[in-house]
Structure 1
Amino acid sequence: MKKTLLAAALIVGFAGVAQAETSVTMYGILDTGYGYSNFKYSKDGISAKRTSSGLTSGIVNGNRWGVRGSEDLGDGLRAIFTLEAGFDINTGKSQQGDDAFFGRQAYVGLASDNWGTLTMGRQYNVATGMTYANNLSVSMGDMDKAFGSQGLGSRMDNSFKYVTPNFSGFTAGVAYGNPKTTITRVDGTSVGSSDRSNWLSTGLNYANGPLAVGASYDRASLGGGQENAITNWALSGSYDFEVVKLALAYGQDRHGKLGWGELGGDTGMNNGLATNAYFQDFKSNNYYVGLSAPVGTGTLAASWSRSDSNLDDADKLGDDAKAQNIYHLNYKYPLSKRTTVYAYGSYGTGIAYIDGLKGKEAGVGLNHKF
């Protein structure tokens, strides 16, 4: 009997060690709701309108499922990996990365408490982890509708990424990738793709108590005979006053705006401003202000974002261009730690820098994390 108990204890002990050394976790987010949107163009006697309503996938968070793992290699060193797939919950279709199975993230690397983390594969640029103002707004009001996902939340193929350990609240990172980039000019004509493109992403942040600030810089050389690389930099910060949380950001784009597609989905009236909108001497200034406060057991958030550009120059869109301004309001009510219901609304003018193009949207939805 004693030998049996001893054997059982040893088996349990070894199982505990194995579990501590290697772990694999499955996770995901399910998000959908009913949404209404209306985009209307009216100028110089010309008018057009596009209205849509129905179930909308990924309003607050993009739908995803994934697995992440870690193996303890000793002396504080770990092998890590993440495989994450995005999908439309209303159709079941894959999203991101030209329908790649793990289009959201797919990387493997090493992590050390003393030396930092090195990862390789398809992963977010450094700005994604160095920005602290992009947590208040959703859908059309999201910060990336002004700044573009190039600087604030874009994925890099074929990339190496290194992030330092936390030094008294400071963290820095750098990433480099060689994605094959397709260039589309502002007039909608495709320049084609190039294997000579490269992308450098860097960032620095500081987080301590209620204060968080971050800075990021991205430089993407498109190759294909283009003279200037597209650059983006941003400064952002947030401060939690306990009753109210304030978020601010400012940044600039030069020579283009990578990762910036049609606002609110395909409006059908984007005037050729497609993803990777490109002008050799394009410039834009981007602004974001967000406020959030607890109301009842939920959180009410409001934001304003603006992006002005030089597209109103005579050699570009001229009088057809205008600065983009978007106003947003949302309320999130937690039913549990993992499940939230929400309502949102947005209104924008100068959508996609087009004079005469306005947009509005509203909806309600459900978000569940597992």
Structure 2
Amino acid sequence: MKRETLILSLIGSFAAIGVAQAETSVTLYGVVDTGYGYSQRTLNKSGIDYSSKSSGLHDSYLSGSRFGFQGVEDLGDGLRAVFVLESGINPSDGTTVTPRMFHRESNVGLSSDDWGTFMMGRQYNLADPFFGINSTSSMGDIDKTFGAASVRVDNMFRYTTPNFSGFQAGIGYAANGVIVRNDQDPDTNKDRDSYLSLGVQYTDQTIHAVATYDRAGTGKFEHAATSWALVGSYDFAVAKLALGYGQDRYAKINGVGAFGDRALFAQVFAKAGSPIADYDEFLMAHDFKASNYYVGLSVPFGGGTAGFAWARTASNLDDADKLGDFAGDQTIYSARYVYPLSKRTSVYVYGSYGTNIAYIDSLKATEAGLGLNHSF
């Protein structure tokens, strides 16, 4: 109750500021997205009979529901102080997505027309703002295929340059632990988690091209997980085509298990003869590699926009010393249609079908939904 009361107090306070002073630099914004959704996952292989179904009110198919505060203060000479505080919400029951009040973003920094933007705090890696090529949602989202397409990182310093004739670059770094210097025991120097994010993009009226690299290291594992990607889109006016390719090594930074549950993974690993039940630990211990592919198409149609996507990620988990016959290449087909009722409100329908989900052979998934999305 204390967290909910504090949130309501903050909303009231910032709203009051906005009403009292039109020139205030603080803005309350958000998205509310909910509707009917259906999902099913099935696996019937080598004695494993798994089935999971759900239907009913489902939140955030088109975009994540949220509310946030964004502030800008003009410091003069083109320099501004900026901050973002953003929390995810579940419109279906009014709860927050996690116990963290502002788990989506919580950062502050300085922005300059001439020198770029420097932010500190919990924020996205460079791939998230740079990619911008998704034509579908939910299971069809590009971040279900590329290991670091959208990652929120605690304790990050992030710098992005100004836009130079369409070109922009950025770097982010986070250290989430404490280094213990001990010459007698060098292993104690590994008690520091770190994250590195690099990105460069070019944008004009028709072309959007991006290259990104992410590295997530932790003292828990010998190797750091890495992910790089090349993505781009071209606007033909009658349609926009997006293409992407990238590779992941040692782990999927976003995590593989978004489409299943731990109990199912434990069964599969046990059948494959692995003593490791945790998916991330299994990947790290077995020299995991994956190549990721994405093709997206968006087409104006009937006053709205239709989107289609094909995404595939092929791994080395089918090697005999890994999952062997229990592994397969994940492929997802998806489509959606979004119709705007106004500049801020849209209705949409969505559907997707996937095979070998989470690289598990014969694990199939189906999703469908329709809903209402409103931004403020």
TM-score, scaled relative to structure 1:
0.86
Name which of 292, 307, 317 aligns with 1:301: 307
User: RMSD of the alignment, in Å?
Assistant: 1.9
1:137 aligned residue: 136
Name which of 162, 165, 168 aligns with 1:165: 162
1:242 aligned residue: 237
Instruction: Give ranges in structure 1 of 5+ residues lacking alignment.
Output: 1-17, 182-193
- Percent sequence identity is 53
Q: Deviations over 1:189-226 (max 9, x none)?
A: xxxxx8511000000000011100001000111112x2
1:1-370 alignment to 2 at 5 Å?
A: 22-96=24-98, 99-133=99-133, 135-148=134-147, 151-179=148-176, 195-224=191-220, 226-264=221-259, 266=261, 269-270=264-265, 271=268, 274=279, 278-280=283-285, 281-370=287-376
CA drift of 1:361 comes to: 1.2
Distance 1:342 1:265 in 2: 26
Distance 1:350 1:108 in 2: 41
CA drift of 1:44 comes to: 3.1
Change (3 A) 1:276 1:53: farther
Instruction: Give ranges in structure 2 of 5+ residues lacking alignment.
Output: 1-20, 179-189, 269-276
CA drift of 1:245 comes to: 0.6
Change (3 A) 1:81 1:366: same
Distance 2:256 2:47 in 1: 27
Structure 2 SS opposite 1:356: coil
Name the structure with the higher helix share. 2
Distance 2:264 2:39 in 1: 14
Distance 1:46 1:100 in 2: 36
Which shows bigger deviation, 166-175 or 356-365?
Answer: 356-365
Q: Which amino acid is 2:153 matched to? A: M
1:187 aligned residue: none
Distance 2:176 2:372 in 1: 35
TM-score, scaled relative to structure 2:
0.85
Change (3 A) 1:299 1:267: farther
Distance 2:281 2:141 in 1: 18
Structure 2 SS opposite 1:311: coil
Change (3 A) 1:317 1:175: same
1:185 aligned residue: none
CA drift of 1:275 comes to: 6.3
Distance 1:167 1:237 in 2: 18
